[in-house]
Amino acid sequence: MKYLSNQRGGKPLIITVITLVIISLISAVAIVYFTIKDQNIEFSEEEIAEATKVAESELDKAYAVAKEYPFEKRFEAIQSIGYREPKEGEYAIFTFEKDYDEDDEYYVILKMKPHAQFENLSVVTVAIFDKKNGALIVEKQNVLKWEK
């Protein structure tokens, strides 16, 4: 028993563990707070309608370039309509961000992944975010058929 209570470094270790636990709890509370805060943002019907028009416009642009470019040049096609280089994610999902001006109201992300059954098809999702709050306003999805 005397051996257990006589160990060196016991108090600094306990203080370090308590500090790490407190930091972890504060981080967890912050994550929950910001998640709930983002979910409580509501948009007016006009804002949703405008964001829907932007999403549909971006899908139309993607559809138009898909008719002109082959599947192998799909990244160049998406970049030709104003998006940056893709970032490869899990399961061959490529994420493109729209290039912006300072006065743009929306943040647009286009995600493209291969179709599960057909080689020359891509599933495209356009997400429109509010630039001020970073909250998702609307998301549209479609399938692009690339030129062979």
The answer to pTM > 0.75 is no
CA distance 72 to 27: 44
Where does the pLDDT of residue 1 fall: very low under 50, low under 70, confident under 90, or very high at 90 and above? very low
Return the beta strands (E) in the chain as ranges.
Answer: 87-88, 94-97, 106-114, 121-130, 136-145
What's the pLDDT score for residue 101?
Answer: 73
Mean pLDDT (the chain) is 82
- At 88 the pLDDT is 65
Dihedral sign (CA 15, 16, 22, 25): negative
39-48, 60-69, 90-99, range with greatest mean pLDDT: 60-69
% of the chain exceeding 70 in pLDDT: 88
Phi and psi dihedrals of 26, rounded to 5?
A: -65, -40
Is 68 strand, coil or helix? helix
| Measured distance CA(89)–CA(20) in Å, rounded | 32
